Amino acid sequence: MRESAEVPYYLELCDSQAAAVSVHYGSEAWKADLPKYVKKIIAVDNFMSDWGLEKQEDGTERDSFGCVWKRGAVDFLVRPPLAEPSLSSFSLPDVKAYYSKSADRRMREEMAASTESFRVGVHSFGLFERAWSLRGFEPLLMDFYDSPTFCEDLLEQIACWMLESVEAMLRHPLDAIMLTDDYADQRGMIFGLDIFRTLFKPRWKRIFGRIHEAGVYTVLHVCGNAEPALGDLIECGLDCVESVQPEAMDVYKLKKQYGERIRFWGGLGIQGLMTFGTDRQVREEVTKLKRLLGSGGGYILSTAKEIDENIPVGNVVAYFEEARRPVDR
């Protein structure tokens, strides 16, 4: 890693927030100053939405995996396709067909429009997330102990499916591939490290290894207190961890402990600071993050969660303006 003259930052606003910022400045001229450091290019989202979601009579929606969801500000899994711990009559959707029929075209268009950016292909729902969405959250946690052979088979099928997706993404000139897997809440791991090391670690190592073979960086989005398994993920070949949620972890301690071995992307709190803090507090924290997490390189400044319409526009502006300032070290 090498310290850069600027600390790169990432800013993506929903339409209502972008409009509010334009009102604040009196025009849309501010958009010309938006950074081109990083561009996320969605390859596979949670639902493979390009193929559409099937409306059910009760208002729920069925995705391409057979999962039935109640959609809203937060999507709630109503009915998973695997009612029992068995794969005898189940198969994942054809991810190769998904790319050839829709995702490849969409990715090519976004790649052509982002030649000045560090381009990150995104495949949402990783090993744990895809497993619980197929089996149900609590049933899967029980399966870890009651049906370990099923869990091995399920995660192996998901890993192979994800590797097919990685191969498709690697046909595009990406700089990094971001995968997602929320295996922690804000208190710590959702399941024990023994389970993580047995079921997940070997498969992440294979997935990250294939990405590295292509000369591409690996990024993992993980919310909550991800620290307990961070050393294991580094051993698997993870280059960058994204979210770095300060409500759950001491981000400055993480930099001291792991900063020589991994990059960090995020670190600015949404739940507390950006929502309830003052614009001055936001500026102070952005300055501190740039100075300390940016020291020695390996840091992309960003909010730990998306900036939605609930964030005061003054705090959005404070983040935007302070992120652009030169680093005062």
114-150 residue pLDDT tens? 999 999 999 999 999 999 999 999 999 999 999 999 9
- Averaged pLDDT, 85-114: 96
Question: Is residue 273 scored above 80 in pLDDT?
Answer: yes
Q: HEC states along the chain?
A: CCCCCCCCECCCECHHHHHHHHHHHCCCHHHHHCCCCEEEEEEECCCCHHHCCEECCCCCEECCCCCEEECCCCCEEEECCCCCCCCCCCCCCCHHHHHHHHHHHHHHHHHHCCCCCEEEEEECCCHHHHHHHHHCHHHHHHHHHHCHHHHHHHHHHHHHHHHHHHHHHCCCCCCEEEEECCCECCCCECCCHHHHHHHHHHHHHHHHHHHHHCCCEEEEECCCCCHHHHHHHHHHCCCEEEECCCCCCCHHHHHHHHCCCCEEEEEECHHHHHHHCCHHHHHHHHHHHHHHCCCCCCEEEEECCCECCCCCHHHHHHHHHHHHCCCCC
Q: Look at residue 4 in the predicted model and tell me its pLDDT.
A: 82
Confidence band of 269 (pLDDT split at 50, 70, 90): very high
Confidence band of 35 (pLDDT split at 50, 70, 90): confident
Claim: this prediction has a pTM higher than 0.85 = yes
Question: Is residue 318 scored above 80 in pLDDT?
Answer: yes
- Nearest one of 223, 182, 216 to 200, comparing CA atoms: 182
Q: Look at residue 73 in the predicted model and tell me its pLDDT.
A: 83
Q: Look at residue 327 in the predicted model and tell me its pLDDT.
A: 86
Q: Look at residue 329 in the predicted model and tell me its pLDDT.
A: 62
- Averaged pLDDT, 151-165: 98
Confidence band of 289 (pLDDT split at 50, 70, 90): very high
- Averaged pLDDT, 273-287: 97
Q: Look at residue 5 in the predicted model and tell me its pLDDT.
A: 82
Instruction: List domains and CATH numbers for the chain.
Output: 15-54+82-324 (3.20.20.210)
Task: List all residues 6 or more positions away from 161 whose beta carbon is below 8 Å from its beta carbon.
Answer: 92, 95
Instruction: Enter the tokens of residue 178.
Output: 């971001």
pLDDT digits (tens, 9 = 90+) for 208-262: 999 999 999 999 999 999 999 999 999 999 999 999 999 999 999 999 999 999 9
Instruction: Enter the tokens of residue 13.
Output: 């606003």
- What is the average pLDDT value for the chain, to the nearest integer? 96
